Amino acid sequence: MNKDMLLKEIANRIEGATKSDINVVLDTFEDVIFDTLKADSSEKVKFGKLGAFSVKAVPAKDGISAINGKPWHTDAHNEIKFTMSKTNKNI
């Protein structure tokens, strides 16, 4: 399911809502999660019964490419991760 299909499905389930209304809500939802986690990386944003968004610290890595044999390097950085709740993990 892509974003357009998701917007249509949510708009169909909410009486009086349009796709553009739902699009504003989803875009704002994304912004709030990103801004909250960027401001405080120890914060968790719980999302109802689905799970929680959090920040994962990724350490710097060095290696050699298996394809062309050239060395590579990735700097340490933070990533947003989503963890499913245990109750909804199994469908």
Report the alpha-carbon distance of residue 80 to residue 53 in Å, rounded.
Answer: 7
Report the alpha-carbon distance of residue 26 to residue 8 in Å, rounded.
Answer: 12
Rounded mean pLDDT, 59-74: 95
Check whether 90 has a pLDDT greater than 80: no
Check whether 88 has a pLDDT greater than 90: no
User: So where are the chain's domains?
Assistant: 1-39, 48-91
CA 4 to chain centre: 17
CA 21 to chain centre: 21
Q: What angle do CA 59, 78, 84 make, to 5 degrees?
A: 105
Residues 10-63: pLDDT tens digits?
999 999 999 999 999 999 999 999 999 999 999 999 998 899 999 999 999 999
At 87 the pLDDT is 83
* Dihedral angle computed from the Cα positions of residues 59, 60, 65 and 70, in that order, rounded to the nearest 10 degrees: 180
